[in-house]
Amino acid sequence: AFEIESMMREDLYRAVHAVYENKKELEALEDEDRRLVEKLELGFQRSGLALASDKRERLGEIRKRLSELGIKFGRNVNENDGRKTFTREELAGLPDSFFDGRETEVVDGVEKFVVTTKYPDMVPVMELARSEMTRQQLAVANEQRCPENVALMQEAIGLRLEAARLLGYKTHAEYVLVEKMAKTPKSVMDFEADLRSKLNALAKRELSEFEESKRADKAAAGEPYEGLFAWDFRYYANQIKERKHKVSNEEVKQYFPMKQVTRGILDVYQKMLNLRFVKVDDAPVWHPDVEMYEVWEAQDGTFVGHFYLDLFPRDAKYNHAAVWPIRPGFAKPDGTHEYPVAAMVANFPKPTPSAPALLTHSDAVTLLHELGHVFHGICSLTKWARFHGTQTEGDFVEAPSQMLENWGWEPSVLRQFAVHHATGEPIPGDLVKRLVAAKNEGAGLFNLRQVFFGLFDMAIHDTADGKVDAKAIYNQLREDVSLFKNGDVDTWGMATFGHMMGGYDAGYYGYLWSEVFSADMYASRFLKDGVDNPKTGMDYRREILRPGGSRDASVSLHRFLGRDPNNKAFLKSIGLDTD
């Protein structure tokens, strides 16, 4: 609300506009100062300061209501986890560790295990439970959460369109994309259509393997085959990976104890970015699980900033993985600098009575990704808070973190921190080879799912009349694009699609759009020069992280790559032929 009210102040707008209109004065400013004036001028206009008073007042009301809707939507998601109970037989396929210390209930005289829709429960059940009924019931429980959020999203869609029209735009997507690298809805739709076309051929080959596996399972059980459903994707992707590459997530996670993995990944970042991290004992934190770290320059001992790690699930906590820039860095009037502070939040598995917290390989990649956001904030050095860290174009902001996911697939890096939790033995080279070989298994279907999310986002936000049924569009598009059936049970998965109410509206395409840049940076510099090359790491810190949003992302990319980016490395990275 404070930010909304600040951008509605006429006195501030008049001051900024006076400088903006004085071209001689504007050109005399330093680059970052001039960029600030230009961005503020655009921001005030987009906040309605150039509108008549009645329209401006209505726009302010819309913005405040949208803020309220977003907060309420997110709170509903965080406070309403789905919950089911299953017998041990219904959970056949899950390892003994899944049941270690798990809550039980007696239902109709039968002891059952409690399974929630939190990630540490949901993911292993969807990947390993042999019973299709079990997977279906948990998937439906997850997608029938927060029915009240359907109306909240519908209201937000209408209000966003009304606001865009007040400002002279045809659609909300058109309004949003002006400030992105893509610039127009057409650019986004062309990107999604081209990628969908390329992925379909790969995905259909993968789908035939899924069908073959499920048909065999049904035949063995004496049951009819009725098709592939949304709750089948993770299970058969995992089955095929195990069969073709002999990779078992249960085997792999024995070599990913969270304590060692976290320490090892932090060490990777220390070396790459020439930093030193110091854990703060007895730190003032909001929960006993939270850790606080100081960040120092490795060479001269200069203090850089702080970050927090809040990595385990708990009731009413944000239930995905994300990073919040608690305080941006900026230059103070006295010439000193405000130090940045960032916090990473995740929901990784907790320790059990018989084993420490063990991560899947996917969890480790998520940790690399989210810490990439942390250090984008920590390593940024800008004059103005407005441009600090991740305050870049929205369709570039994921690129630095996506690039750093590649370290989770580098054998030399994995050997630095992947050790058996009981013996301390490093991960076997053969297991690493099998893990890397399985990287692109199911990549076509996985990326079609990302295309689906992007197309849903555009379908509800690139509309000129606002007459959209978000629930119906979500269900229909998911079936059409992802190639898996929804089933005949009524669900509303869009009601927990937090991105649509948390700042990614008309921007979800950016996850795949920015993959183009991340793949190019990794292949053209780090893979070529060596992932542990200190010069490349410092080039990356100087040209990509340090500027934040103080210059266009295209300039930063050109400086780091020595040329404009292209999509060859991206297409190759997801298993598509680039010839």
CB atoms inside a 10 Å sphere around CB 324: 15
Q: Is 250 a catalytic residue?
A: no
Q: State phi, psi for 386 to the nearest 5 degrees.
A: -55, -25
In the set 127, 370, 398, 405, the catalytic residue is 370
**Environment class of residue 128 by beta-carbon count within 10 Å: exposed (0-12), middle (13-18) or buried (19+)?**
buried
- DSSP bridge partners of 307: 293, 342
Question: How far from chain centre, in Å, is Cα 44?
Answer: 29
Amino acid at 8: M
Beta sheet of 110-116, edge-to-edge order: 83-86, 110-116, 104-107
Nearest Cα to Cα of residue 209 among 188, 187, 232: 232
Between CA 573 and CA 567 the distance in angstroms is 10
Between CA 170 and CA 172 the distance in angstroms is 7
Between CA 380 and CA 493 the distance in angstroms is 36
Residue 182 neighbours by CB under 8 Å, 6+ apart: 188, 191, 395, 509, 510, 513
Nearest Cα to Cα of residue 160 among 8, 180, 152: 152
Residue 297 neighbours by CB under 8 Å, 6+ apart: 274, 275, 276, 303, 304
Which of the 8 DSSP states describes residue 344?
Answer: E
Q: H or E segment at 404?
A: helix 399-404
In 522-552, alpha helices (H): 527-529, 534-540
Between CA 220 and CA 215 the distance in angstroms is 9
Q: Cα–Cα–Cα angle for 100, 368, 261, nearest 5°?
A: 45
Q: H or E segment at 119?
A: helix 119-128
Residues forming the active site: 370
